[in-house]
């Protein structure tokens, strides 16, 4: 990749991260392209070199998060097959990956949960298809770990566990990423009937899958939008 292309890609990632943060805070309908441009130091018209409009900006945010989740889960599943992992380890790695994503990118999680209905039908179906693909890998790993579960029972448990992990976005700003990360992993392991680890940690696979993307959470634990235990 040329230096120019690299800079353009980095700038594009900054725009999408800024847009995700603003939409998470204000909502899609209130967010303006001009406001996003001001945050990243680009004039409104200049943004059109990266996005064709607000709808495209939202689509890029939601397609990006979905693709990255699928790619990360696929990397875990591929390595599990290559290295012949035990079923429990595969499930742990998937949980580890999702916890790290939720803790470091709460803005995108919030946008995904709230704004998918504002996508154009074709883009919405693309995101939904990617989400189904992602969940299906969890279901496969869970049923290998717990063969007694039916497909439907495994899917219900996976959906609930993913929702539990995603809810970390409500507390990560005031509780701090490390505390939320450890607690979320512990709770997710229990939800999947996995033995508790004394010191759960994020695997190298999870970190590699998330590398190179701007993080939207303040890992210092400073008070942010959700400014205390009462926030919802």
Q: What is the mean pLDDT of residues 90-110?
A: 93
Other C-beta atoms within 10 Å of 229: how many? Answer: 9
Other C-beta atoms within 10 Å of 116: how many? Answer: 16
Cα distance between residue 58 and residue 119, in whole Å: 7
Cα distance between residue 21 and residue 134, in whole Å: 24
Residue partners of 73: CB distance under 8 A and separation at least 6: 94, 97, 134, 137, 138
Alpha carbon 156 to its chain centroid, in Å, reads 19
Instruction: Assess whether 119 and 177 both reside in one domain.
Output: yes
Q: Are 193 and 143 in contact (CB under 8 A)?
A: no
Q: Give 132's DSSP letter.
A: H
**Residue 139 pLDDT greater than 90, yes or no:** yes
End-to-end alpha-carbon separation of the chain, Å?
A: 43
Q: Give 162's DSSP letter.
A: H
Domain housing 95: 58-210
Regarding predicted confidence, which is higher, 204 or 187? 187
Q: How far is CA 209 from CA 63, 94, 123, 155, in A?
A: 16, 11, 24, 24
What is the domain count for the chain?
A: 2
CATH number for the domain spanning 31: value is 1.10.10
Cα distance between residue 212 and residue 228, in whole Å: 30
| Domain assignment present for 232 | no
87: confidence class by pLDDT, cuts 50, 70, 90? very high
Instruction: Assess whether 110 and 85 both reside in one domain.
Output: yes
**Residue 115 pLDDT greater than 50, yes or no:** yes
Instruction: Assess whether 34 and 101 both reside in one domain.
Output: no
90: confidence class by pLDDT, cuts 50, 70, 90? very high
DSSP string, 48-117: TTT-SSHHHHHHHHHHHHHHHHHHHHHHHHHHHHHHT--HHHHHHHHHHHHHHHHHH-HHHHHHHHHHGG
Cα distance between residue 12 and residue 20, in whole Å: 12
Instruction: Assess whether 191 and 101 both reside in one domain.
Output: yes
Q: What is the predicted pLDDT for the residue at 6?
A: 86
**Residue 179 pLDDT greater than 70, yes or no:** yes
* Lowest mean pLDDT across 50-54, 58-62, 228-232: 228-232
Instruction: Assess whether 88 and 154 both reside in one domain.
Output: yes
3-class state of residue 167 by DSSP: helix
Instruction: Assess whether 82 and 120 both reside in one domain.
Output: yes
| Domain assignment present for 7 | yes
43: its two tokens: 């004039």
32: its two tokens: 């303006």
Please give, one letter per residue, the 3-state secondary structure of 42-63: CCHHHHCCCCCCHHHHHHHHHH
């Amino acid at each position: 990749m040329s230096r120019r292309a690299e800079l353009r890609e980095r700038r594009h990632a900054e725009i999408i991260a800024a847009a995700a943060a603003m939409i998470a805070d204000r909502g899609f309908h209130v967010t303006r392209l001009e406001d996003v441009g001001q945050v990243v130091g680009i004039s409104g018209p200049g943004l059109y070199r990266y996005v064709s409009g607000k709808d495209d900006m939202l689509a890029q945010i939601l397609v990006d998060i979905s693709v990255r989740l699928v790619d990360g889960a696929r990397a875990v599943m591929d390595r599990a097959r290559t290295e012949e992992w035990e079923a429990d380890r595969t499930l742990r790695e998937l949980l580890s990956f999702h916890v790290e994503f939720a803790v470091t990118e709460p803005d995108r999680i919030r946008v995904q949960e709230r704004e998918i209905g504002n996508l154009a039908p074709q883009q919405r179906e693309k995101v939904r298809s990617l989400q189904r693909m992602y969940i299906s890998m969890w279901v496969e790993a869970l049923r290998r770990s717990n063969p007694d579960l039916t497909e439907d029972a495994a899917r219900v448990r996976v959906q609930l566990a993913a929702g539990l992990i995603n809810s970390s976005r409500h507390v990560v700003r005031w509780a701090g990423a490390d505390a939320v990360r450890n607690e979320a992993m512990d709770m997710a392991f229990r939800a999947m009937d996995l033995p508790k680890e004394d010191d759960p940690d994020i695997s190298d696979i999870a970190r590699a899958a998330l590398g190179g993307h701007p993080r939207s959470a303040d890992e210092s634990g400073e008070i942010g939008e959700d400014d205390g235990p009462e926030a919802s």
